[in-house]
Amino acid sequence: MESKKDNFYAQRDENNLAKIKSICQELPSYVKEFIVGIQMRTSTLTRLNYVYDLRIFYDYLSKEVFPQLKPNEIELADLEQLKAFDIELYMDYLSSYEFKGKRYQCGERAKERKLCSLRSFFKYFFNKDRLSSNICTKVDLPKKHEKPIIRLESDEVVKLLDRADSNTLTDISKRENSYHDITRTRDVAILTLFLGTGIRISELVGLNHEDFDFSMNSFSVTRKGGNRSVLYFTDEIANALKAYCAWQQEQIDEQNEFGLKIADQKAMFYSIQGKRISVRAVENLVKKYAKHITPLKKITPHKLRSTFGTELYHNTQDIYVVAAVLGHKDINTTRRHYAATSEDIKRRAARSVKLRDDSDKNDDDTK
Q: Residue 322: which of 335, 313, 311, 333 has the closest Cα?
A: 313
Residue 90 confidence (pLDDT): 97
Helix (H) and strand (E) counts in the chain: 16, 5
What is each CA distance from 133 to 15, 80, 236, in whole angstroms? 34, 8, 57
Residue 334 confidence (pLDDT): 82
- Rounded mean pLDDT, 198-227: 92
* 100 dihedral zone (left: phi>0; alpha: psi -120 to 50; beta): left
CA distance linking residue 230 with residue 213, whole number of Å:
10
* Percent of the chain residues topping a pLDDT of 70: 89
- Name the pLDDT band for 48 (thresholds 50, 70, 90): very high
Weakest-pLDDT range from 15-29, 210-224, 321-335: 321-335
- Cα angle, residue 155 at apex, residues 232 and 165 outer, rounded to 5°: 70
Of 112 and 3, the structure prediction assigns the larger pLDDT to 112
Residue 4 confidence (pLDDT): 46
Task: Reduce the DSSP state of residue 230 to 3 states and report it.
Answer: strand
What are the DSSP calls for 257-281, one per residue? TTS---S-TTBSSB-TTSSBPPHHH
- Name the pLDDT band for 340 (thresholds 50, 70, 90): low
- Name the pLDDT band for 365 (thresholds 50, 70, 90): low
Domain ranges across the chain:
8-138, 154-350
**Whether residue 257 has pLDDT greater than 50:** no
Residue 348 C-beta-side C-alpha neighbours within 13 Å = 8
* pTM for the model: 0.78
Of 181 and 140, the structure prediction assigns the larger pLDDT to 140
Residue 258 confidence (pLDDT): 46
**Whether residue 186 has pLDDT greater than 70:** yes
CA distance linking residue 299 with residue 338, whole number of Å:
18
Weakest-pLDDT range from 118-132, 175-189, 212-226, 326-340: 326-340
* Tens digit of each residue's pLDDT (9 = 90 or more) over 11-26: 899 999 999 999 999 9
CATH topology of domain 154-350: hpI Integrase; Chain A (1.10.443)
Q: Residue 198: which of 343, 45, 49, 315 has the closest Cα?
A: 315
Instruction: Pick from 5-9, 88-92, 168-172, 244-248 the range whose average pLDDT is largest.
Output: 88-92
CA distance linking residue 233 with residue 219, whole number of Å:
8
**Whether residue 108 has pLDDT greater than 70:** yes
